[in-house]
Amino acid sequence: MEAFGLLLYGFGVLLTWKTLALMMVGLVLGIFVGVLPGLGGPNGVAILLPLTFTMDPTSAIVMLSCIYWGALFGGAITSILFNIPGEAWSVATTFDGYPMAQQGRAAEALTAAFTSSFIGSLVAVLLITFLAPGIASFALRFGPPEFFAVYFLTFCSFIGLGREEKHKIVVSMALGLLLAGVGMDTVSGQLRMTFGSSDLLRGINFLVAVIGLFGISEIMLTMEERLALRGHAAKISLRVVLKVWKEMPRYWVTLLRSSVIGCWLGITPGGAIAASFMSYNLAKRFSKDKESFGKGRIEGVFAPETAAHASGTSALLPMLALGIPGSGTAAILLGGLMVWGLNPGPLLFVEHKEFVWGLIASMYLGNVVGLVLVLTTVPLFAAVLRVPFAAIAPMIVVSCAIGAFAIQNAMFDIWLMLVFGVAGYVFKKIGIPLAPFTLALVLGNRAEDSFRLSMIGAEGDMRVFWSNGLVGTIASLALVLLLWPLIAGGIKRIRLVFARGT
């Protein structure tokens, strides 16, 4: 198997003291970020990104992805001990995790959560290891029309499958694509939408927007709520860990099902939240004892955590293979790639082998080390929550400002961050989703370039998107997804008519 050799090569890249140290730093920072209120995976990664600007890309991505794994682990701590989901995809974990903590079984619940997260991401990493190189080498044959079709598919799937009001998804996405176009036009070199401002000439930086949208707005949202919290302290002993691990094989069906759901939904954009709920509900439906769910059943912790981690990890697959992020955090990592001077897309596997395989190897190692780390240090991290928010909030603001400034050394970006912070706060409260905006902002230029290049190649003939089997299939699939709500409604109506007829 070729993948094995390459993976070994990746471990070779990884196993230096410097990289391993960065990995530990990343994991610890990540768990902190996951535990702290008002921060989470995407914000943490975005704020800490400037730390990596002067590193080589491999060390940088290893540290950043470890922050991400750490944040995923950390989210489970607050869900179980405090009934506060750090992230939307941790909500399902609170259903059974918190009752378990109330019954004095916090250690058990935490062990279950950490172990199942580990299993979920392991399955996803295996998937990446064996699938991503194949997809990437297939995508090497893509020309501009194929790439535009894939971008179009991504955008359409957000609109068609999103749970928010459709016009708000469109607003969010169109705004992101528009702002991506501000500045110098890459094809003709003309200036667009700059209104004579020299600051807008550089364009609106994706990471600045993300820091504002997720970091600053999250602090405002957190302040708005009651900050009092009451939770359980927990210590995990080896005895409990072994007990849970011994019980675990009995739930292999749940673990497997949740991993599959997670991987599948993770590859399609915006899936982690849906994955955790769906696998929780399915575990409940297939259980013989439905009543016990929500009252502290260990299976209710296994299911959502496995799925959330599987989808969080597999979201990196399309990012690595195609240059299309499957989640908000993946989008930020993609932004990082561009800062480090790498060109995301299928060529990454050919041109930057050490980067790709170093990252994949770090997913294996990072999850193992992360599991051991959280199991041993939970009491320490739970105590972080005792630190008053009034001390944490200004520090987060400062970190956000440092992050925003460092990207382009521009004071203007700090102001831009503030504007995006307010916009993010308002958007979240009126139900305009931020994920489509983020995705559109990071992909906007590349989507436009591929569209214009295909138009130039085909002399303005739109039929180029149906000119061969491959591009035609992708483009048609995109339209089906875009119109999916209408199609699904139509099918339902036809069924009703038939049901009445018989």
Partner 1 sequence: MSKPEAEIVVEDPAAPADDSPAVATRRTVDIVVSILLLALAALLAFDNWRTGMSWDSTGPQAGYFPFYLSVILAGACLYGIGKEFLARRQARETFVTRDQLRRVMQVFAPTLLFCLFTQWLGLYVASLLLIVGFMTFIGRIAAWKALLTAFLFSLVMFVTFEIAFDVIMPKGPLEALFGH
- Taking contact as CB under 8 A, which single stretch among the options 330-338, 352-360, 445-453, 469-477 is the one that binds partner 1? 445-453
Half-sphere exposure of 387 (CA within 13 A, CB side): 14
Contact pick of 394, 473, 493, 495 for partner 1 (by CB under 8 A) = 394
**Gap between the Cα atoms of 56 and 58, Å rounded:** 6
Stretch of residues binding partner 1 (CB under 8 A), selected from 7-15, 126-134, 270-278, 448-456 = 448-456
Tell the smallest beta-carbon distance from residue 57 to partner 1 (Å).
15
Two tokens, residue 57: 């890309």
CB of 330 to partner 1, least distance (A): 23
Give yes or no for a contact between 262 and 306, defined as CB atoms under 8 angstroms apart.
Answer: yes
Name beta bridge partners: 183: 192
Neighbouring residues of 43: CB distance < 8 A, sequence distance ≥ 6 = 33, 210, 211, 214, 215, 218
Contacts (CB under 8 A) with partner 1, residues 177-236: 177-178, 181, 185, 187-188, 190-193, 195, 216, 219-220, 223-233
Number of residues that bind partner 1 (CB under 8 A): 81
Site string for partner 1, 415-434 (x = CB under 8 A): x--x--xx--xxx-xx-x--
Residue 80 engages partner 1 in binding (rule: CB under 8 A): no
Using an 8 Å Cβ cutoff, are 112 and 244 in contact? Answer: yes
CB of 457 to partner 1, least distance (A): 9
| Residue 390 is a binding residue for partner 1 (CB under 8 A) | yes
Here's the x/- map for partner 1, 253-282, by CB under 8 A: it reads as ------------------------------
Q: Give Cβ neighbours of residue 502 (< 8 Å, ≥ 6 apart).
A: none
User: 366 burial class (0-12, 13-18, 19+ CB within 10 angstroms)?
Assistant: buried
User: Which residue in 68, 32, 145 sits closest to 330, CA to CA?
Assistant: 68
Q: Does residue 448 contact residue 126 with C-beta atoms inside 8 Å?
A: no
Report the DSSP beta bridge partners of residue 191: 184
Token representation of residue 144: 């501009």
**Which residue stretch of 59-67, 87-95, 256-264, 455-463 sits at the interface with partner 1 (rule: CB under 8 A)?**
455-463
* Residue span binding partner 1 (CB under 8 A) among the ranges 312-320, 348-356, 358-366, 393-401: 393-401
Which is nearer to partner 1, 19 or 399 (by Cβ)? 399
The piece of 109-117, 149-157, 162-170, 332-340 that touches partner 1 (CB under 8 A) is 162-170
Report the C-alpha gap between 335 and 210 in whole angstroms: 10
Near partner 1 in 33-72, by CB under 8 A: 50-51, 53-54
164 binds partner 1 (CB under 8 A): no
Among 21, 140, 242, 456, binds partner 1 (CB under 8 A): 456
Question: Is the CB of 181 or the CB of 472 nearer to partner 1?
Answer: 181
Q: Does 171 help bind partner 1 (rule: CB under 8 A)?
A: yes
Nearer to partner 1, 49 or 136 (CB): 49
First to last CA, the chain: 56
* 353 is a contact residue toward partner 1 (CB under 8 A): no
Binding part of the chain for partner 1, among 96-104, 283-291, 354-362, 469-477 by CB under 8 A, reads 96-104
**Cβ distance to partner 1 smaller for residue 357 or 465:** 465
Minimum CB distance to partner 1, residue 138 (Å)? 28
Distance CA 154, CA 330 (A): 14
Report phi then psi at 183, rounded to 5. Answer: 110, -150
Contact 203, 468 (CB under 8 A): no
Nearer to partner 1, 395 or 487 (CB): 395
Q: Which of 147, 150, 142, 172 is nearest to 159 (CA)?
A: 172
At 293, phi and psi to the nearest 5? -70, 140
Q: DSSP letters along 14-52, please? A: H-SHHHHHHHHHHHHHHHHHHHSTT--HHHHHHHHGGGG
Least distance from partner 1 to the Cβ atom of residue 170, Å? 4
82 near partner 1 (CB under 8 A): yes
- For partner 1, which residue of 8, 242, 380, 395 counts as binding (CB under 8 A)? 395
Establish if 383 lies at the interface with partner 1 (CB under 8 A).
yes
What is the smallest separation between the CB atom of 32 and partner 1, expressed in angstroms?
A: 14
Q: Does 351 sit near partner 1 (CB under 8 A)?
A: no
Interface with partner 1, residue 25, by CB under 8 A: no
- Of the candidates 21, 140, 398, 486, which one interacts with partner 1 according to CB under 8 A? 398
Residue 4: CB partners within 8 Å, gap ≥ 6?
A: none
**All residues at 6 or more sequence positions from 254 whose CB lies less than 8 Å from its CB, including other chains:** 279, 283, 286, 299, 302, 303, 306
Task: Using the minimum distance from each CB to partner 1, give the nearer residue, 156 or 274.
Answer: 156
8 Å CB contact between 146 and 470: yes
Stretch that binds partner 1, among 17-25, 95-103, 143-151, 468-476 (CB under 8 A): 95-103
Contacting partner 1 (CB under 8 A), which of 401, 464, 474, 482? 401
